[in-house]
Chain A
Amino acid sequence: MQKLGEFKLPHFFNYPPYFTLQPVRDTREKQVQLWKELIIEYCRAQKVFIIGLEEDFPLFSNRAIERSLSHEARVAFLSALVSDGRAEWTDKGHKKCLILWHRIQEWADLIVHFVKENGLEDNVMTVEEIRSGTESRGTELYGIDRSVLMRALKLLEHKGKLVIFKGTSTDDEGVKFSL
Chain B
Amino acid sequence: MAAGNYLPTAELTASGRPVLYPGEIESSLLSSVDLLSEENPNFPHLKSGLLILTNHRLLWLPNSTPASSPTPVHIPLSAVSHIFSLKKSIKSVFSTPRIRFQVSVTSEGRVDEKGLRSIVITLVLRGKSDPEAFLGKFWEALKVRAWEEIKVGASGAEAGSSSGPRSGEGSLALRVPVVGVAGILRKEQEMWESTDKSLQDAFQDLNALMSKAKEMVMLAEKMRLKLLAGSNNQATGAAEDELGTKEEMQDWLLSVGIASPVTKESAGALYHQQLSRQLADFVRIPLERAGGTINLIDVYCLFNRARGTELISPDDLLQACSLWEKFDVPVMLRKFDSGVMVIQNKAHSDDEVFARIRSLVTKPDALQSGVSASDAAMTLGVAPAMAKEYLLTAEGKGLLCRDISPDGFRFYINLFQDINSDDVYL
Contacts and interface: CB of A to CB of B under 8 A. Distances in A.
A15 B416 CA distance: 10
B402 A31 contact: no
B425 interface: yes
B405 to A, nearest CB: 6
Nearest to B369: A16
B23 interface: no
Given A17-B401, A19-B403, A22-B401, A11 B425 contact: yes
Interface in A149-167: none
B398 A12 contact: no
A31 B403 contact: no
Contact of B426 (A11, A16, A33): A11
Contacts of B181: none
Interface in B342-360: none
A24 to B, nearest CB: 6
A26 B396 CA distance: 9
Contacts of A23: 395, 402
Contact of A8 (B370, B398, B402, B425): B425
Interface string B387-420: 0000000011010011111110010101111010
Nearest to B419: A12
B424 interface: yes
B425 A1 contact: yes
Contacts of A37: 421
Given A24-B395, A30-B416, A12 B401 contact: no
Given A16-B370, A24-B401, A30 B417 contact: yes
Contact of B415 (A1, A10, A12, A26): A12
Contacts of A11: 424-426
| B interface residue count range (under 10 / 10 to 19 / 20 to 34 / 35 or more) | 20 to 34
Given A27-B401, A30-B419, A67-B405, A15 B425 contact: no
Q: What is the interface of chain B mostly: helix, strand, loop, or mixed? A: mixed
Interface string B365-382: 000011000000000000
Nearest to B407: A66
B424 A10 contact: yes
Contact of A27 (B398, B403, B405, B410): B398
Q: What is the interface of chain A mostly: helix, strand, loop, or mixed? A: helix
A20 interface: yes
A20 B404 contact: yes
B424 A16 contact: no
Interface string B181-220: 0000000000000000000000000000000000000000
B403 A26 contact: no
Contact of B405 (A10, A16, A22, A34): A16
Given A12-B424, A30-B419, A34-B421, A17 B412 contact: yes
Contacts of B415: 12, 15, 17
A23 B403 CA distance: 11
Interface in A1-53: 1, 8, 10-12, 15-17, 19-20, 22-24, 26-27, 30-31, 33-34, 37
Contact of B402 (A20, A33, A66, A67): A20
Nearest to B414: A27
B180 to A, nearest CB: 80
Given A1-B426, A16-B370, A22-B401, 20 more contacts: A8-B425, A10-B425, A11-B425, A12-B415, A12-B419, A16-B410, A17-B402, A17-B412, A17-B415, A17-B416, A20-B401, A20-B402, A20-B405, A22-B416, A23-B395, A26-B417, A27-B398, A27-B414, A34-B416, A34-B419
7 contacts: A1-B426, A15-B415, A23-B402, A24-B398, A26-B398, A30-B416, A34-B416
Interface of B: 369-370, 395-396, 398, 401-407, 410, 412, 414-417, 419, 421, 424-426
Interface of A: 1, 8, 10-12, 15-17, 19-20, 22-24, 26-27, 30-31, 33-34, 37, 66-67
